[in-house]
Amino acid sequence: MTTTAASPWQPDTWRQRPARQMPTYPDPAPLDAACAQLRQFPPLIFAGEVQALRAQLAEVAAGRAFLLQGGDCAESFDTLDGNAARETFRVMLQMAVVLTYAAARPVVKVGRIAGQYAKPRSADTETQGGVTLPSYRGDIVNGAGFTAAERAPDPARMLRAYSASAATLNLLRALAQGGFADLNQLHAWTTDFVRASPQGQRYAELAERIGESLAFMAAMGFNSSNTPQLREVSFHTSHEALLLPYEEALTRHVDHGLLGSAGGAPGWYATSAHMLWLGERTRQLDGAHIEYLRGIANPVGVKVGPTATPDEVLALLDALDPAREPGRVVLITRMGAGKLAERLPPLLAAVRDAGWPAIWSCDPMHGNTVSTAGGVKTRDFANIVQEVREFFAAHAQAGTVAGGLHVELTGQDVTECRGGGQNLTDERLAERYTTACDPRLNGSQSLELAFLVADLLKAGRRPGGESADKSSPPPAR
Ligand code: TRP
Ligand code: MN
């Protein structure tokens, strides 16, 4: 269907295709020097972990697991003290517990973290008070401050992004394995501001029930010292694959002997993260970003907006997943509340009928971004909830799997999205609006959304629930 799939692939074949959203570096020499350095650095992840994630995602595609992907819109070099990463990890654990309990299936946990430093922009330049400068494209490219020095794209920032990613990933690995994620700690994951909220109450009740189950299991001889499943979580990293020179420099060929026990095929791996995704603005079929993504063995995501046609989506799948491997592609829909109900069903039907085992995940954030009267970017919690409901209803109708949730969140007590249990208003947005880019759900809003999705997953499981209450049975998958 596409010409790309036929031609040979190398980590740099993307250079022969038009690349959108790339900074213009003034001088090639420092760019080459930074890339040469990156090629000397160790991979951030191990190919066996990528294969393990692919196996987990294959379970999602089959409807036996649920994908939770979340984190900052953009990470920042200024908040590297570990608090931000720990709080994101903490709230994702809470959400995962809520979802696992309700769905009675494993939750695959993937952070938008440890590398989420590059941002696409609607314009190449920004003008303030008669001064025009390059747009801020994320800390891996330039600085957010509105000065010529800050906004000049600096390739050396790629080296800082690598170190920052390594430091964050190191902390996440420690938290995932060192006891922080032990199920016996689930009370301790609640922060004070969440504890006081209605979601905090609901979570405390759930924690109580799980605590009883754990006590029962301990009496049977299963505890966190002899059962690592209770003490550790598997947690993977992801970011938008935008800055291709960086991704190319960290792409490594992995031979048979270096794959580990998870198996999988030898080949090229992106080693900047376990999973990469493409945004709505860089997924042109003949573009550089698709060309790069098609050659790596990692699972890849693609954002799918409200204007995407069935043919476009099938062509994307053909380019990225010609072998139709379950767990390879995650289609991340971002359509907007009200639009999804109309735009998603034809896409679901097309992919279902063509027989692709793609995962559908719902990003209810990016189609619902608005500006307040005061010019602040925000999102209404009610619209986020509405889009998630429409997503589950569309899948129930099509007989397809509502496989995952993709959200911009932080565990911290920020005031960036309106509404939710705390009923945040426009006036209060300024109180703690700290995002480096788009507005995120705070800890309590994140938990509230998890409870909603938990209810939808539970309804899908019950006879008479959402996926069962329609006249004809779903087509067999
Ligand atoms: N290891 C299991 C998992 O990753 C169970 C688990 C341990 C867990 N700690 C957790 C699940 C914290 C969610 C949150 O799913
Ligand atoms: Mn965003």
**What are 22-68's pLDDT values in tens digits?**
999 999 999 999 999 999 999 999 999 999 999 999 999 999 999 99
What's the pTM?
0.94
At residue 28, the pLDDT reads 94
Name the token pair of 326: 């379950």
Question: Six-digit token pair at 269?
Answer: 């791996």
**pLDDT band for position 358 (cuts 50, 70, 90):** very high
Q: Which residue type, as a one-letter code, is found at position 374?
A: G
Query: Helix or strand or coil: residue 160?
Result: helix
Q: Which ligand is nearest to the CA of 107?
A: 1
Ligand 1, atom 4: nearest CA belongs to which residue? 233
CA 143: distance to chain centroid?
23
Q: Does the structure show a pLDDT above 80 at 339?
A: yes
The residues, ordered by sequence, that sit 6+ positions from 29 with a Cβ below 8 Å of its Cβ are: none
Proportion of the chain above pLDDT 90, given as a percent? 82
- Cβ–ligand 1 distance for 181 under 6 Å, the answer yes
- Residue 233 beta carbon below 6 angstroms from any ligand 1 atom: yes
- Mean pLDDT computed over 432-456: 93
User: Which residues, at least 6 apart from 331, have a Cβ–Cβ distance to it below 8 Å?
Assistant: 301, 302, 304, 313, 347, 351, 358, 359, 360, 361
Q: How confident is the model at residue 463 (pLDDT cuts 50, 70, 90)?
A: low
Confidence of residue 262 (pLDDT cuts 50, 70, 90): confident
**Which atom of ligand 1 has the smallest separation from the CA of 228?**
1
pLDDT attached to residue 164: 98
Evaluate: CB of 447 within 6 angstroms of ligand 1: no
* Cα 263 to middle of ligand 2, angstroms: 34
**Which pLDDT band holds residue 469 (cuts at 50, 70, 90)?**
very low
pLDDT of residue 424: 86
- With a cut of 60, say whether residue 467 has pLDDT above it: no
With beta carbons less than 8 A apart as the criterion, state whether 279 and 120 touch.
yes
Mean pLDDT score of the chain: 92
Residue nearest to atom 3 of ligand 1 (CA): 233
pLDDT band at 5 (very low <50, low <70, confident <90, very high): low
| pLDDT band (50, 70, 90) for residue 365 | very high
Helices first, then strands: H and E counts in the chain? 14, 14
Give the ligand at the shortest distance from the Cα of 365.
Answer: 2
Question: Is the shortest distance between the CB of 183 and ligand 1 below 6 Å?
Answer: yes
Q: Is 229 near ligand 1, meaning CB less than 6 Å away?
A: yes
- Report the atom number in ligand 1 closest to the C-alpha of 96: 13
Confidence class for position 471, pLDDT limits 50, 70, 90: very low
End-to-end C-alpha distance for the chain, whole angstroms:
24
Reply yes or no on whether the pLDDT at 177 is more than 60.
yes
Is the CB of 97 within 6 Å of ligand 1? yes
Ligand 1 mean position, distance from CA 273 (Å): 21
CA distance 324 to 346: 20
User: Is the C-beta atom of 333 inside 6 A of ligand 1?
Assistant: no
Is 93 close to ligand 1, i.e. is its CB under 6 Å away? yes
Residue closest by Cα to atom 14 of ligand 1: 93
Find the mean pLDDT for residues 77-94.
95
State the DSSP code for 136. P
Q: Report which ligand 1 atom has the smallest distance to the Cα of 230.
A: 7
Residues 275-309: tens digit of each pLDDT: 999 999 999 999 999 999 999 999 999 999 999 99
Strands 251-254 and 267-270: antiparallel
Find the 376 Cα to ligand 1 centroid distance in Å.
37
What average pLDDT does range 337-355 have in this prediction?
A: 97
Which ligand lies nearest the alpha carbon of 176?
A: 1
Which is the closest atom of ligand 1 to the Cα of 235?
A: 4
Ligand 2 centre to CA of 104 (Å) is 30
> Tokens 């920004």 correspond to what residue?
126
With cut-offs at 50, 70 and 90, classify the pLDDT of residue 408: very high
Query: Ligand 2 center to residue 265 CA distance, Å?
Result: 33
Indicate if ligand 1 lies below 6 Å from the C-beta of 68: no
Ligand in closest contact with the CA of 242? 2
Cα gap 236→275, rounded to integer Å: 8
Residue 1 pLDDT exceeds 70? no
- Which residue's CA is the closest to the ligand 1 atom numbered 7? 230
